[in-house]
Amino acid sequence: MLYSKIEGEGKPFIILHGFLGMSDNWKTLGLEFSKLNFQVHMLDLRNHGRSFQSSEFNYQVMAQDVKEYCDKNDLKQIVLLGHSMGGKVAMEFAATWPSLIGKLIIADIGTKFYPRHHQSILEGLLSVDFSLKPSRTKVDELLSLYVKDYGTRQFLLKSLYWREPGQLDFRFNVKYLEENIDEIGKELSDEKIFKKETLFLRGEKSNYILNEDEDVIKRHFPKMSLNTITNAGHWLHAENPKDFYEYVVKYLNS
């Protein structure tokens, strides 16, 4: 069963994080959404956060994990929001079990195939030898040789935790993620179609959803709408949370 953080009471609202993320990334916005009479479930997907680890890792099994979570908690007519990798999971889930979806929100990811683009990050993560008991500062120093962007490193370091006194580790399973990295970029299969209204949000500075991608997305989500969050890149919910929140709330109230 997937680990979750739950805030509030009311209609079920599930949030799925992106690659190498976890539920904690959404705690601020999750709390805000919970104030709108939603029970917000921020999930850790398999091999991430505090959820279980498995060598099997693809969008089909991750969508099945979310389905089992819904069944266990008797969640129906859910609001489902997914960012990046979590957005692909949300697409797979919605197209497979459309009757469970009340509202669907996809953040900065399209339905298309994405080529590998996490190699340097994974190389950096794999370069950390925790048997040497490095400090948090040392881990950051090692990552900086592969990941130059400070913000990205801080995002990755959020998954550091004390496995035991004096022994740090990452919450995500780098080995399994690296072995299955080609699964992350896979496109939504042709037969997956979701006919209810769907909100797509993209970052103005991101290249994950291009203008020419819209026609392809509409084949799978014929009632989709696309809005652009200004002054934001791929982590649009963190870079411009105000506009992100307002777009989501407007869609929820429509």
Condensed to tens digits (0 to 9), the pLDDT of residues 207-249 reads 999 999 999 999 999 999 999 999 999 999 999 999 999 999 9
Statement to judge: residues 90 and 216 lie in one domain: yes
Statement to judge: residues 64 and 125 lie in one domain: no
d(CA 178, CA 210): 27
| DSSP tag of 158 | T
CA 12 vs. chain centroid, Å, equals 18
Report, as residue numbers or ranges, the catalytic residues: 84, 234
Coil, helix or strand for 10?
Answer: coil
Nearest to 252 by CA among 95, 32, 86: 32
Model confidence over 44-86: pLDDT tens digits?
999 999 999 999 999 999 999 999 999 999 999 999 999 999 9
Statement to judge: residues 170 and 233 lie in one domain: no
Q: For residue 201, what are the domain limits?
A: 4-114+187-252
Split at pLDDT 50, 70, 90, the class of 33 is very high
Nearest to 17 by CA among 51, 41, 43: 43
Statement to judge: residues 106 and 198 lie in one domain: yes
Statement to judge: residues 81 and 67 lie in one domain: yes
Confidence at residue 174, expressed as pLDDT on a 0 to 100 scale: 95
Range of lowest pLDDT (99-108, 111-120, 181-190):
111-120
CA distances from 149 to 17, 120, 129, 144, 154 (A): 20, 12, 21, 8, 9
The pTM of the full predicted model, rounded to 2 decimals, is 0.96
Quote the number of domains for the chain. Answer: 2
For the segment 2-31, the average pLDDT, to the nearest whole number, is 97
CATH number for position 210 = 3.40.50.1820
Statement to judge: residues 89 and 153 lie in one domain: no
CA distances from 189 to 32, 77, 96, 226 (A): 34, 24, 11, 21
Statement to judge: residues 139 and 226 lie in one domain: no
